[in-house]
DNA sequence: CGCATTTCCTGGTAGC
DNA sequence: TGCTACCAGGAAATGC
């Protein structure tokens, strides 16, 4: 058995890193769009990664022009002038940069030169959880999560009624939100933060969250994502935007990574558990379990 | 179909 | 300084 201090130390180290969730991916998108849109792809290839479903059909992008740099949940989607789109997921450690990294470059595209603009984009992904592939426009058969993804939380049509309709599962609210189906773009950090803000216990069955509480959760999701986006995302340890700057939201976290630290509302120590193989942080006093389901599933 | 479990992958760290 | 074991997680794959 490991001593608790060992586990605590290991976790602390991890919390100083980053995970790209919606605000981090949107920050990357905003940086890439100005110099990628309208550029024609001269070369596209897998570099240091095995052939397989994460790196499909890159050669099909050659000769096509990047029409836009869009985002859907945590995916970057670049529609091309032909009938394809370039789909990128940063996974845990993915970085997009015009400067060629020394190690762990999994894929790259080069561009027809344009004055005073970079002429290449490198995908560096140390832990290889990311994806970088070309698919026919709108074809998500290789990306089932994207195919079944819920509404964009920062779009105007996202509202409590929409979210409530999506909470139609007996799975815990934490796990269900991570599935991307009720709403797009939330990962482990912002799920914990949103549930803390809405005072919902992470083990509450999704279909036991009341309509009133779902309204609060809707507002909490939008507020935490907007606040993080305003700070250009959460920097844990090594998160950088494509221009090498740190995101700034880490200091504003209320739950994630604050094990045993006092709750910012009531001073009760934040508790850490594991739910669906994911570390989970919540205030045992503020976030109470719902007593019974509000509806059947 | 739903839901649970397993898999992928590497660097930082504790502990010796 | 070096060695070893552990462990974080998004999404897909697999199992039932």
Q: What is the pLDDT along chain A (297 residues), one digit of tens a residue?
A: 222 223 333 344 333 446 899 999 999 999 999 999 999 999 999 999 999 999 999 999 999 999 999 999 999 999 999 999 999 999 999 999 999 999 999 999 999 999 999 999 999 999 999 999 999 999 999 999 999 999 999 999 999 999 999 999 999 999 999 999 999 999 999 999 999 999 999 999 999 999 999 999 999 999 999 999 998 776 544 444 555 445 568 888 999 999 999 999 999 999 999 999 999 999 999 999 876 666 655
A127 classed as catalytic: no
For A176, A200, A241, A266, the CA distances from A291, given in Å and listed in that order, are: 18, 12, 43, 22
**CA–CA separation, A8 vs A277, rounded Å?**
17
Contacts of A232 (CB under 8 A, 6+ apart): A23, A27, A241, A245, A246, A247, A248, A249
Sign of CA dihedral A118, A228, A224, A167: positive
A21 touches strand C (CB under 7 A): yes
**CA–CA separation, A5 vs A99, rounded Å?**
39
What pLDDT is stored for residue A292 in this prediction? Answer: 64
**Length A134 CA → B9 C1' (Å):** 23
To the nearest 10 degrees (0 to 180), the angle between helices A211-230 and A188-198 is 130
- To the question of pTM greater than 0.85 for the whole model, the response is yes
A278 classed as catalytic: yes
For A5, A109, A259, the CA distances from A9, given in Å and listed in that order, are: 6, 39, 12
Query: Judging by beta carbons within 10 Å of its beta carbon (0-12, 13-18, 19+), is residue A56 exposed, middle or buried?
Result: middle
Q: Which of A29, A54, A74, A106 is catalytic?
A: A74
**Length A263 CA → B12 C1' (Å):** 28
Nucleotides of B under 7 A from a protein CB: 2-15
**CA–CA separation, A198 vs A252, rounded Å?**
16
Expressed in percent and rounded to 5, the helix, strand and coil fractions of chain A are 30, 20, 50
**Length A12 CA → B15 C1' (Å):** 17
H-helix segments, A179-296 = 188-198, 211-230
Closest nt by CA–C1' to A276: B4
Q: Which of A72, A140, A278, A285 is catalytic?
A: A278
Closest nt by CA–C1' to A12: B13
């Amino acid at each position: 058995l490991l001593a608790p201090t060992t586990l605590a130390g290991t976790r602390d180290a991890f919390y100083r890193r980053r995970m790209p969730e919606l605000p981090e991916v949107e920050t990357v998108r905003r940086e890439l769009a100005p110099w990628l849109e309208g550029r024609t792809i001269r070369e596209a290839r897998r570099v240091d990664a095995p052939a397989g479903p994460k790196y499909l059909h890159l050669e099909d992008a050659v000769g096509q022009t990047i029409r836009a740099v869009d985002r859907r949940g945590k995916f970057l989607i670049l529609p091309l002038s032909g009938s394809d789109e370039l789909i990128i997921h940063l996974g845990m450690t993915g970085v997009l940069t015009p400067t060629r990294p020394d190690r762990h470059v999994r894929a790259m595209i080069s561009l027809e030169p344009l004055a005073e603009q970079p002429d290449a984009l490198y995908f560096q992904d140390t832990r290889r959880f990311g994806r970088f592939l070309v698919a026919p426009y709108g074809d998500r058969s290789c990306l089932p999560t994207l195919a079944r993804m819920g509404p964009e939380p920062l779009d105007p049509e996202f509202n409590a009624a929409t979210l409530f309709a999506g909470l139609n599962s007996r799975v815990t609210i934490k796990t269900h939100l991570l599935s991307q189906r009720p709403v797009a773009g939330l990962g482990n950090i912002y799920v914990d933060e949103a549930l803390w803000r809405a005072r919902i216990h992470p083990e509450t069955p999704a279909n036991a969250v009341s309509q009133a509480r779902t309204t609060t959760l809707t507002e909490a999701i939008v507020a935490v994502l907007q606040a993080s986006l305003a700070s250009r995302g959460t920097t844990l340890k090594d998160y950088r935007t494509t221009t090498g700057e740190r995101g700034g939201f880490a200091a504003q976290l209320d739950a994630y990574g604050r094990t045993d630290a006092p709750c910012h509302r009531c001073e009760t120590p934040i508790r850490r558990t594991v739910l669906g193989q994911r570390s989970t942080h919540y205030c045992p006093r503020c976030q109470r379990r719902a007593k019974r389901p509000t509806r059947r599933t």
